[in-house]
Structure 1
Amino acid sequence: MKTTNEKIAQLRAAMQAAGANACLIPSSDPHSSEYLPDHWKARAYFSGFTGSMGTLVVTDTASALWADGRYFIQAERQLAGSEIQLQKIAVEGTPTVTEYLTDALGEGQVLALDGMVTPTATVLELEKALAKKGAKVLSVDLVSPIWEDRPPVPSTPAWLVDTETAGVSAEEKLGRLRKKLAEAGAAAMVVSRLDSVAWLLNLRAADLDCTPFALAYCFVTTTNATLFIDQSRMPEEAIAALRAQGVGVESYDRLLGTLTGYHHDRVILVDGSTNWAIYSAVCQNPNFTVKMGEDPIQAMKGVKNAAEIKNLMNCHVKDGVAMVRFQIWLEQQMAAGATITEVDVDRKLMELRAEQPGNLGVSFDTIAAYGANAAMMHYHATPDNCTKLEKRGFLLVDSGGQYADGTTDITRTYALGELTENERTYYTYVLKSHIDIAKLQFLSGCTGGNLDVMARAAVWQHGIDYRCGTGHGVGFIGGVHEGPQSLRVTNTVPFQPGMTITDEPGIYEEGEVGIRIENELLCVERVKNQYGQFLGFESMTRCPIDLTPVRPELLDADEKAWLNAFHAETYRDLAPLLTEEEAAWLAEKTKPLA
């Protein structure tokens, strides 16, 4: 097996043969997915860094990888021994990818990138910056010819979510999309994001690990809609059902030819996440007038309908049953002195979720991190690299499930035994931050950026911060990270009733401890008066929060009241689905905090 440096050298040789002086490899597939099929994990293959986010740049003389705060520790470890220099995103003194390439390239030089996997917004930014230096961008696939034993393109069985579960038919959603396009002054769009295609057509598959999406595009005009997908994995009844709703079906690889040969005059909306190859095909056709804009489906699907909310509530109860049984198992194993590793935790959670009705697997790779490992926000244990649990300190478990009626994401931090006073204090700070968002009432119009600041107050006042957002949207039988809403300082999307969000503040001290507490929340209407409409949140998650580490004197009366009410709801909804012994255990875990 080649080393990272040997792979970089091979890439440089391909660059030289193509007349390029630099190469950009993003973490992306043709659909700008967050979690990638193995076939498109080129950045991981060439760099050795396996985090879900990162960008690799290789020039004639140097190479660098950009990662955000979730992955600093992991990236440093995985890049060790290679020539690749880690660039820490948002850290003072770190250049952006564009700044780095603008500095590296000069007159007549060329940046190579694969237009099929690079978003249009990225290429437009690079072209503009490099033109000032006399450099240019070349779209070319340098990866495929030199990636040995590249995994195949996935093609799993595709299926349709019934309208009763989804709440709205594909035909109705297409009508809503066409109205949004008209409002934007457009008459056509290539829906390229997999979460958008999935929502629009109620289409699901398992082409991405942990995420039930099908590799597909949908070309929508005022009069037609065409799904581009590998038809061999679609049942005839599914194809017939789509055609009955006005959706034609063509082969996945025919999209670009359809766009270049399209002969009707259309203003076509192009989202910045659309890949450069699609953008180029549209620009080459004089019948299209390109209008850049945001994918309107993202905002539409961000607000869940009544059927989706009902189903999500149900799947969170099922997920809570699995989580309760996991904690009971964990306590029993620790009390018996059994040898338990982080990998055992991962396996047990998968097993318990699989027992729940309608489970489709996990919604992301479980993060089971003991002790200092939890300081790495996206740590993932493997059989060859995992830690044994001991009767002291914390175990952080961030996990989630995919179900036929929804998607879940939950984090609990468990005390395994003796704790330091510092650990108990940190835990209570995180709990305060979590509760402060969960019980917050705020005016309609407040954005994720507004609320993120409020969440951090409980840790900021102690000179502590966390290098990530406080929360993210979650899809419906979809991606565990979906927007457009998020609890992040930079987010400008106002919250609306029906939006879901995770509430997951944390404290991460390298080499010491990692703590996170996460529930999923539903945005709902509260009081309306002369000041306007107030909104708030209801917790959808049903799982007890470990009270063992809490320093009650640090919680105020309102925080205690919220915690006790949450635990009362958790017991009410889970107890009927548990055995008598399990219910008695839960009653003890959800007793009011004095």
Structure 2
Amino acid sequence: GSAGVAAVTLKHGSALSTDGRYFLQAEMQLDAAEWELLRFGEKGVPTIGEWLAQKLECGESVGIDPAVHSVDNAVKLRKELAAGGVELRLLDGENLVDAVLGDAREPLPTAAMRVHALEHAGLSVCEKLELVRGEMREEGAGVLLLSTLDEVAWMFNTRGQDVPHCPVTLSYALIGLDFARLFVDEGKVTAEVRAHLSDASVEVHPYGACAAQLQALVAEGKRAWLDAATGSAGMQAAAEAGASTWSDGCGGDEPAAKKR
């Protein structure tokens, strides 16, 4: 499936919240003795957060992997849980589902990136960077996080093969007023792509290094811009860890989304 949120509790059962596209499939595949199906969007059906707040006892907590929940989703979930006196915790460490899967988990894709020709892109990477930096200056931002894959592809005029039928690559980007960094599995970066990025002074860094570098940049005093609708709760936590106060962070739609 492509949409759904699951909750597993120690003593109060488990639930799957999904929309109408998957009601029949869920009914056939879920063990009704173990799982409750929450038909998202139907009248009177609770969200996963509301269900947890009803099931858990006051003082209990719910853990999530902050890498796979947006800032907005985490804020909404925390509010729903708080209504029942339940705490939301961002887990630090391996995703528990991944830990259970172990070697059975499918490996991350390794297909090579390619350059998206200027005749199709319309603007060079340098031109796009200057457009985005103009909006960063207006907003007072010192660093912009891009985490939506199509926005990263647009920003750097690259394409990938990591998602079927969608030419994107698993990646992040950090854009500053005087730097641009792409975080990606470096094995995917061909010599042509590396030269293309180098021409625009774009640095290539390991995929897993983005959060630590964001934290370090904020610690230097740079004001961070992160789109709460698409940026992960984990990336916000990294920025918060580097800041004396997060109230100075930028909000709203980030400029790459608006410029596309």
Fold-level similarity (TM above 0.5): yes
Task: Report what 1:69 is aligned to.
Answer: 20
Alignment of 1:455-534 (within 5 A): none
Give CA deviations for 1:276-312 in whole Å, capped at 9, x if unaligned: 21111100002773222223322322xxxxxxxxxxx
TM-score, L = length of structure 2: 0.88
8 Å CA contact 2:19–2:39 kept in 1: the answer is yes
8 Å CA contact 1:216–1:252 kept in 2: the answer is yes
Alignment of 1:119-198 (within 5 A): 119-140=70-91, 141-148=95-102, 149-198=104-153
Amino acid of the structure 2 residue aligned with 1:240:
A
**Secondary structure at 1:144 match in 2:** helix
> How many equivalent pairs are there?
251
Task: Report what 1:202 is aligned to.
Answer: 157
Task: Report what 1:275 is aligned to.
Answer: 232
Structure 1 residues 80 and 106 mapped into 2: Cα distance closer, same or farther (>3 Å)?
closer
Amino acid of the structure 2 residue aligned with 1:145:
A
For residues 212 and 243 of structure 1, the distance between their equivalents in structure 2, rounded to whole angstroms, comes to: 21
For residues 156 and 238 of structure 2, the distance between their equivalents in structure 1, rounded to whole angstroms, comes to: 24
1:55 and 2:30 equivalent?
A: no
**Alpha carbon RMSD of aligned pairs, Å?**
1.9
> Percent of aligned positions with the same letter in both sequences?
31
8 Å CA contact 1:113–1:138 kept in 2: the answer is yes
Structure 1 residue 261 displacement after superposition = 2.2
1:253 and 2:208 equivalent?
A: yes
Which of 215, 238, 241 does residue 196 from structure 2 map onto? 241
For residues 226 and 145 of structure 1, the distance between their equivalents in structure 2, rounded to whole angstroms, comes to: 30
**Secondary structure at 1:180 match in 2:** helix
Task: Report what 1:552 is aligned to.
Answer: none
Task: Report what 1:300 is aligned to.
Answer: 259
Amino acid of the structure 2 residue aligned with 1:244:
D
8 Å CA contact 1:189–1:220 kept in 2: the answer is yes
**Secondary structure at 1:171 match in 2:** helix
For residues 48 and 32 of structure 2, the distance between their equivalents in structure 1, rounded to whole angstroms, comes to: 22
Give CA deviations for 1:128-157 in whole Å, capped at 9, x if unaligned: 333344322222221222114111111211
Alignment of 1:289-328 (within 5 A): 289-301=248-260
**Secondary structure at 2:182 match in 1:** strand
**Secondary structure at 1:112 match in 2:** strand
Which of 213, 221, 225 does residue 265 from structure 1 map onto? 221
For residues 136 and 191 of structure 1, the distance between their equivalents in structure 2, rounded to whole angstroms, comes to: 29
**Secondary structure at 2:98 match in 1:** coil
User: Larger relative CO (CA 8 A, sep 6+): 1 or 2?
Assistant: 2
Alignment of 1:444-455 (within 5 A): none
For residues 266 and 89 of structure 1, the distance between their equivalents in structure 2, rounded to whole angstroms, comes to: 40
For residues 235 and 277 of structure 1, the distance between their equivalents in structure 2, rounded to whole angstroms, comes to: 29
Alignment of 1:8-23 (within 5 A): none
For residues 257 and 80 of structure 1, the distance between their equivalents in structure 2, rounded to whole angstroms, comes to: 41
Structure number with the higher helix fraction is: 2
Give CA deviations for 1:392-414 in whole Å, capped at 9, x if unaligned: xxxxxxxxxxxxxxxxxxxxxxx
For residues 83 and 95 of structure 1, the distance between their equivalents in structure 2, rounded to whole angstroms, comes to: 18
Structure 1 residue 264 displacement after superposition = 3.0
For residues 136 and 54 of structure 2, the distance between their equivalents in structure 1, rounded to whole angstroms, comes to: 39
Amino acid of the structure 2 residue aligned with 1:274:
G
